[in-house]
């Protein structure tokens, strides 16, 4: 027996939520995007600042693996494990538990960053592993609030831009904190400001992640409260996009069997795409050094690069919302993703020919990789559920993809240090770009053909 779709009359929601449900659409969109964007933006303040530190000259337990690589891999292992756990937890969680879960997850992540600051160098990998464990489930809990709506493309595009922009900003924030820049800013605040500035000073590489997280904790709590005010999808939403329901084990297995060939192609592409995106993100400081952009002369370059990428992705994803027919929308998502991986190769050719600078090459590879990556975490599976009329939640498919993708991220980074240790990170990134271009194009075009045949021609 199917679970009835929640409505304003069937569940208890606040007066503000009821007002929001009846408000003009642009007000709802603005509020929902702000809440989702801010929530996930703040999450990155607990996940990414440690990658702004270089940990130069430090090797992991005197092996050939650098300490930074060990830390990056350890966090990804925790994050990947969280994705596997999230396949069940985020698919089954009830609406009333989502906000509480978000708050407890982020508090656990902040506690692990405190342990990171206390631990000896070699043992920081354990603390950063614990940091990744709760953070991997935040995305799915936020997506639950946004999927299955007529405006889901816009909402999910706004959410997706959060991790593009936030990664660069929190890393620049962390690097400024290590040089005393953020501490100086506190002097502008009366009363407690100067005291906080004296306490911060120049924050060490070990304590910088925890201090950054503490700065963003109050905003995260406010953002979750805002997110929890969103009313459930309306009757019109469920009519247009199919009802979204928690999925038990039987429904999850049935879903995988039903779409196995197409899902396999998507997962192969995502295995390497996540690794590519993560390598660029985690080692951007080193890649920029290799391109001739040292940090001392380019203190906001990461934020500038990722802001341009986020703007391009946001506009592209929002345009997909203009496609009302779900089958056409699904094809549109595949077209955008394929264009993204083709841009990787095209921009590399332009860079090698001297047509564009290293800054614009790194920006375009970011734009291309996120055009291919972002739909996996949002609108691709949302459109798939709507066009095929399969009941369930896109969160399940998203978490299967993420679990596989972050497994690939660990494998590729280990391969770089152990099998390609003599190659610079810039050289490895460029070779990986070509590989991703050819593999991604083949897998995405093939899976597009498969899901086009599976979707309903009469879908509206």
Q: What pLDDT is attached to residue 61?
A: 80
> Helix 25-47 crosses helix 15-22 at what angle (to 10 degrees)?
120
pLDDT tens per residue across span 109-164:
999 999 999 999 889 999 999 999 999 899 889 988 887 777 777 787 788 778 77
Q: Nearest to residue 337, comparing CAs of 312, 305, 374, 306?
A: 374
Distance separating alpha carbons of residues 320 and 24, to the nearest angstrom: 21
Q: Both tokens of residue 424?
A: 């610079």
Distance separating alpha carbons of residues 362 and 384, to the nearest angstrom: 31
pLDDT band at 10 (very low <50, low <70, confident <90, very high): very low
pLDDT tens per residue across span 29-84:
999 999 999 999 999 999 988 888 878 778 878 777 788 888 988 998 898 888 88
Q: What pLDDT is attached to residue 409?
A: 83
DSSP string, 22-47: HS-HHHHHHHHHHHHHHHHHHHHHHH
Of 40-44, 61-65, 259-263, 407-411, the one with minimum mean pLDDT is 61-65
pLDDT band at 94 (very low <50, low <70, confident <90, very high): confident
Interior/surface letters 101-114, b for 16+ CB within 10 angstroms, e for the rest: bbeebbeebbbbbb
The answer to whether the beta carbons of residues 374 and 401 sit under 8 Å apart is no
Q: What pLDDT is attached to residue 27?
A: 92
Distance separating alpha carbons of residues 395 and 381, to the nearest angstrom: 8
DSSP string, 333-357: HHHHHHHHHHHHHHHHHHHHTTSS-
Distance separating alpha carbons of residues 128 and 132, to the nearest angstrom: 6
Which CATH number is 15-454 given? 1.20.1250.20
Q: Both tokens of residue 53?
A: 């530190």
Q: What are the angstrom distances between the C-alpha of 322 and each of 25, 28, 205, 262?
A: 15, 17, 46, 25
Query: For the chain, what is the mean pLDDT?
Result: 82
Q: What pLDDT is attached to residue 9?
A: 42
pLDDT tens per residue across span 181-238:
665 555 545 545 555 555 555 677 888 899 889 889 999 999 999 999 998 877 776 6
More confident residue, 294 or 12: 294
The answer to whether the beta carbons of residues 452 and 274 sit under 8 Å apart is no
More confident residue, 455 or 77: 77
Q: Residues 426-441: what's their mean pLDDT?
A: 95
DSSP string, 385-409: HHHHT--B-HHHHHHHHHHHHHHHH
SS3 362: helix
Residues recorded for the chain: 460
Of 251-255, 279-283, 367-371, 403-407, the one with minimum mean pLDDT is 251-255
pLDDT band at 247 (very low <50, low <70, confident <90, very high): low
DSSP 118: H
Write down the domain spans for the chain. Answer: 15-454
pTM for the whole thing? 0.72
Of 5-14, 119-128, 389-398, the one with minimum mean pLDDT is 5-14
Distance separating alpha carbons of residues 142 and 43, to the nearest angstrom: 11
Q: What pLDDT is attached to residue 188?
A: 47
pLDDT higher than threshold 60 for residue 460: no
The answer to whether the beta carbons of residues 232 and 69 sit under 8 Å apart is no
Q: Residues 15-34: what's their mean pLDDT?
A: 88
pLDDT higher than threshold 80 for residue 26: yes
More confident residue, 167 or 246: 167
Q: What pLDDT is attached to residue 180?
A: 65
Q: Both tokens of residue 66?
A: 């650098």
Whole-number percent of the chain with pLDDT over 70: 86
Residue whose pair of structure tokens reads 């060939």 in the numeric block: 261
Backbone angles phi, psi at 38, to 5 degrees: -65, -40
pLDDT band at 269 (very low <50, low <70, confident <90, very high): very high
More confident residue, 242 or 450: 450
The answer to whether the beta carbons of residues 398 and 376 sit under 8 Å apart is yes
DSSP string, 229-258: TPPPPPHHHHHHH--B----HHHHHHHHHH
Q: What pLDDT is attached to residue 297?
A: 62
């Amino acid at each position: 027996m199917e679970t009835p779709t929640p409505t304003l009359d069937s569940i208890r929601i606040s007066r503000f939520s009821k007002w929001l449900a009846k408000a003009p659409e642009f007000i709802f969109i603005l509020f929902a995007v702000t809440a989702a964007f801010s929530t996930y933006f703040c999450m990155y303040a607990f996940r990414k600042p440690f990658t702004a530190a270089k940990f130069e000259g430090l090797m992991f337990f005197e092996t050939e693996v650098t300490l930074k690589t060990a830390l990056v891999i350890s966090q990804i292992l925790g994050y990947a494990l969280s994705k596997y756990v999230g396949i069940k937890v985020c698919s089954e969680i009830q609406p009333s538990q989502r906000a509480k879960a978000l708050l407890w997850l982020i508090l656990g992540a902040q506690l692990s960053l405190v342990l990171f600051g206390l631990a000896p160098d070699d043992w920081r990998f354990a603390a950063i592993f614990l940091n990744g464990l709760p953070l991997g489930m935040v995305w799915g809990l936020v997506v639950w609030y946004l999927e299955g709506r007529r405006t889901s493309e816009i909402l999910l595009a706004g959410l997706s831009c959060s991790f593009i922009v936030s990664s660069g900003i929190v890393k620049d924030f962390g690097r400024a904190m290590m040089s005393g820049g953020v501490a100086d800013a506190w002097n502008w605040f009366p009363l407690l400001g100067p005291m906080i500035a004296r306490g911060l000073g120049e924050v060490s590489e070990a304590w910088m992640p925890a201090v950054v997280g503490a700065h963003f904790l109050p905003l995260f709590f406010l953002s979750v409260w805002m997110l929890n005010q969103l009313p459930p999808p309306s009757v019109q939403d469920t009519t247009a996009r199919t009802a979204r329901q928690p999925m038990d084990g039987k429904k999850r297995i049935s879903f995988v069997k039903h779409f196995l060939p197409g899902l396999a192609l998507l997962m192969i592409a995502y295995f390497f795409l996540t690794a590519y995106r993560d390598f660029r993100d985690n080692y951007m400081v080193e890649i920029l050094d290799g391109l001739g952009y040292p940090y001392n002369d380019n203190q906001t370059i990461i934020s500038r690069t990722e802001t341009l990428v986020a703007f391009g992705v946001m506009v592209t994803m929002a345009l997909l919302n203009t496609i009302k027919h779900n089958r056409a929308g699904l094809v549109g998502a595949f077209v955008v993703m394929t264009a993204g991986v083709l841009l990787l190769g095209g921009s590399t050719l332009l860079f090698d020919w001297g047509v564009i600078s290293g800054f614009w090459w790194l920006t375009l590879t970011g734009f291309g990789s996120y055009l291919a990556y972002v739909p996996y975490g949002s609108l691709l599976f949302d459109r798939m559920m709507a066009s095929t009329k399969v009941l369930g939640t896109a969160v399940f498919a998203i978490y299967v993809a993420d679990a596989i993708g972050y497994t690939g991220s660990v494998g590729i980074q280990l391969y770089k240090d152990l099998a390609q240790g003599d190659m610079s990170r810039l050289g490895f990134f460029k070779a990986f770009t070509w590989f991703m271009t050819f593999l991604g194009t083949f897998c995405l075009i093939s899976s597009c053909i498969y899901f086009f045949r599976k979707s309903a021609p009469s879908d509206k």
